[in-house]
Structure formats: structure tokens, C-alpha cells
Chains A and B, each alone.
Chain A
């Protein structure tokens, strides 16, 4: 296995962290296998993506051009990806960890007759094999898999890949691949898109995250978290339990099946610390917990914690932060 392909699905604007992660993981794999990395850009291309793909390590960039790829449409994208993987004789194909990448991966693999693994946190190329690490049982265990045969489709877990340093000015051989796609392939259509409101910056990019769980007891409880986040310049997140209750939008969910975040500070409030939640915050630099139960497992992963009811603790913390800042003359 030498021929590594990173699939990039075009979105408005420049290359985002998701794409940088696919390219970085692909570069490392190609190096380990002594092979090459081809970035395949699916969709109406923006010129800046070429340079970015090269800057993150692609040896070659291939644009797949077709009017039907202007926007994400599952069947068209999968068929385009299948054609290009066949044309390039892709041996390892990395799909992005986005909603669309994860949707495409198994369908594409099925069409390519490829083994497929998602939510991978380690992919090591060595002696023609790929050693895969995938957490299982909600992060309570890690499994190691060895792929000896191509083709292989992989999706890395978001935020589990350290992004390579951008090499400005790096160049890659760029080409276009025309594909014929029958419009009749499309069986579904996106008729509406809605962006969910968030407080502050996107969770994935936030430096400070204040998260609430079932212990908040209701939507009302999130108001104090909001106030604290506002003071600290942070963003509010949540556990699945809080999202399932409808207290906050589903897009605030952090964890195995939510966002993967890597803030400087993660303050967990009224969250018990189930492994499936912790999976989402393993990239956090400092984890601090407020929970009224001293036995809550969240304390085992936190570097500091307060055993207290959040209803008294968070307002008191807000006051303490004000005082602290006043004392510092801020």
C-alpha cells in the first residue's frame, strides 16, 4: 500500500481544520508507507484550496469537475469519489470527519470493495501495512487493527490528528479529472439548511468552554453558564443528557457522538463524566469540574474540582471572577 488519497469536499470559503486534518493524516501515512499523497478535491473548486492542499503535504492535487458536485449530493459525491479512486488506483482513502465524509465513507467503501473503519485515532503506515487504533466501548477501551490489504477507507476522529505545519509556497502537480455523472443518480436533495445559534465562537475553536449536563435541571440553568462564558470569553457546550432534554441545541453536544473540542479550559458543570462524554474533551488542556456529588467520575479526569451545587457555586464564581479582576485592576 503506497497510494494514499485524501478526499476533500469543497465548502464555501477556505480550507478548514477538517480538511487540514485529512491532509495531515494522509501525509503521515504516505510517509510511513513510502508512498505518495494525492488530494482529491470534490466539487466546484476554489483556487486557494490547491495551494492549501500542497501546503499541508499533498504531492498531487486532482480536481474532480462536474456541475452536479457544486453542492453536496450524496449519490453524486460517492460516485465521483468512486471513479477517481479507481482512476488513481487509490489504496488508502481518507475521508473527512465531517457529516458528509462520515456519510460517504461506508457507501464508498462498499462500492470499492474496501475495508472501512471510522473514528480512528491512530493510523500508522509501516512496512506496507496500516496499524489502526480505534477506541471502542465509548472510549473505555482501545482496539488495534492491522490492514494488510488495499483498498482501505478510513475516517479519522475529528481533533485526533495534529495538523502539520503549513508549508507556505509548497507546490503540487495539479490536474483536472472530468467525470461523467448521470443526473438520475441523485435520489435525495437538500432543501433547507439551518445554522444553529451558538454562544461565542464555534465550540471546535473555542479557547474556553463552559459545559452543562443533566445536573443543570433545565434550560434555565444554562443562563448562568452563559453569563460566566460571556465574562470569560468562552462558549457554552453540553452533555448529551442536556441536549436530549431539549434544554440546549443538539449542536452543542460534546462527546463520542458530538463535537470533539480542544480548549485551554473545559469547565464541566453538572456532568457526571461518562466515558462517552470524556471522549470529546480528551484534547482539553485543563479540565475543571463542578459537581455536587464527590463521587462523580468527572473528578477522576479533572485537574481541579469543586463539590458544590452549581446553583450557588456558579453565581459565587461569577462574583469571585469580578472581584479578582477588580483586584488586578482589569
Chain B
């Protein structure tokens, strides 16, 4: 069983709003002192893959990232969580990639790898929230796509997927090979790597593939999303003013809060 997890490296999304700046010229966030991390749901996706492999008692997990040189750190983290292999696609060779381009590069890499039974993506990247690369990738590969998966089991050649819906849960049986997107759940909290695995990962060489290795032309990767004009990026203003409700005792604060709720016509 070969499982491939697509992961993106992003600026830490937990950066407090007060420290968040944008470069309106470049139309991107200013990194400043923020860390680079694996996009949150991609770690959940890797965790689902790890659990699936471990339950099956074998199989191989490959972590795949289209990213700059720095993305090696994200892939090493995946190795330290016990992915078996990791590959970086050299983003620097493909400037101004659109989501279709990313999906096509992932598809090209997948065609070069040992055939995957299940391909994992996050539900959406934690920086731009596109929520489309997984579906586009499924389309490129002509495979079924199941979104918002929280857990996966193998049943013969098929996969039994537990997925989140607006109302609750669904169990979806899906023939492999397929592409899924993963959402967070208490059952797929990413494991913390062991110290010895961190050291092992640190020493790993991560292969990088570019246009030559993938047999693609950089100029031909982008799709229809590249035609969208990116007009601007700005920080929206918030104008709420907070009234701090004080008091000598908790009871006094509570009485004042109750009065406030009554004033708001919600009591």
C-alpha cells in the first residue's frame, strides 16, 4: 500500500493579528519573525496516513511538497513523524504557480512515483484557504475525490472513510486509488515526533525534482486560475470598542453582565 501525503509549507497561521502585516506591493504577508510550518490540516492528513499504514501493518508513506528550498524543513518534520520518503518539487523553477499548476505538478510527481493507493491533502491551506488543490488534483488524475475526511480504514481494495458533513458524519466507501482531503478531528491530532526520530530526519537527504525530472514545461503548468487578476491584498478594519465589566466581586460582575445582556435584549 502506497500512501502519498501532499503538504504545503506556510507562515505560522497562529501569528497574532497585532503582529500581522502585509506587503501591499508584493501582495503577500510579511513573514517577519514568524515560523514556517506544515500547513495545519496537512499534518492531520499525515496523521491519518500514519494510522492507516500502522493499522495495515505495513505500507509506504511518501510526503510530497511543491515548495522553495525552505520546504525541506517541512518534509523533514514529516519524516520525523515517520513518513518513509519525502520529495520536494522545486517551486523556484515554476514562478507564479496557480492552484492548477500546483495540482499538475503534484500529479506529475505522482505519476513518477510508485502508484499511490490513496493521495492525501489538507482540506485547505492555512494561509490562502484555497480549498481546491485536492479536488483539482483528483480531476487531473481522473480519480474520485472525497473531502473532509477525519479517518480512514482499508477494506480490500477500497477505503472506508469517515467524513464530516454539515450535520454530523458520513461513512463513505470509496474504491482506490482516490484522492481525499482531511479535516481536523480529535482522532487525528498530529503526533509529536520522538527526539531520536528528529535526529534521524535531520540527517535525511530530501530529493528535489524539477521540470527536467518531471518531464514538464514550466510555461505549461498554469491553468484558468492564473487568468484571475490579483488586484489587491489589504487588512480589513475592525471598529468594535470593548466595555470592560468590572466589579468588587464575581457576584457584582455577574449582576452587571446580566444587566448588560438585558440591555441587549437577549435576556
Interface residues of A (CB under 8 A from B): 74-75, 98-99, 102-107, 109-111, 113-119, 131-132, 134-138, 140-149, 151, 187-196, 207-208, 232, 240, 243-246, 249-251, 256-257, 264-265, 274-276, 286-289, 294, 297, 299-308, 312-313, 316-317, 319-321, 323-325
Contact = CB atoms under 8 A, between A and B. Distances in A.
B244 A99 contact: no
A306 B13 contact: no
B254 A102 contact: no
A173 B229 CA distance: 35
B245 A305 contact: yes
A305 B242 contact: yes
Nearest to A289: B242
B233 interface: yes
Interface in B120-174: 123-124, 126-136, 138-140, 143-148, 150, 160, 163-174
A190 B229 CA distance: 39
A312 B232 contact: no
Contacts of B174: 187-189
Residue with the highest number of chain B CB atoms closer than 10 Å, among A188, A189, A240, A275: A188
Interface in B10-26: 13-18, 20, 22
Interface string B58-102: 000000000000000000000000000000000000000001100
A257 B183 contact: yes
Given A141-B236, A143-B232, A304-B242, A320 B136 contact: no
Contacts of A119: 124, 129, 131
A203 to B, nearest CB: 10
Interface string B218-262: 000001110111111111101011111100001101110111111
Given A74-B145, A265-B261, A313 B240 contact: no
Given A265-B266, A304-B260, A103 B145 contact: yes
Contacts of A102: 131, 147
Given A74-B145, A103-B145, A191-B171, A306 B253 contact: yes
Given A142-B234, A188-B178, 7 more contacts: A99-B164, A109-B135, A115-B228, A138-B129, A140-B15, A294-B244, A316-B250
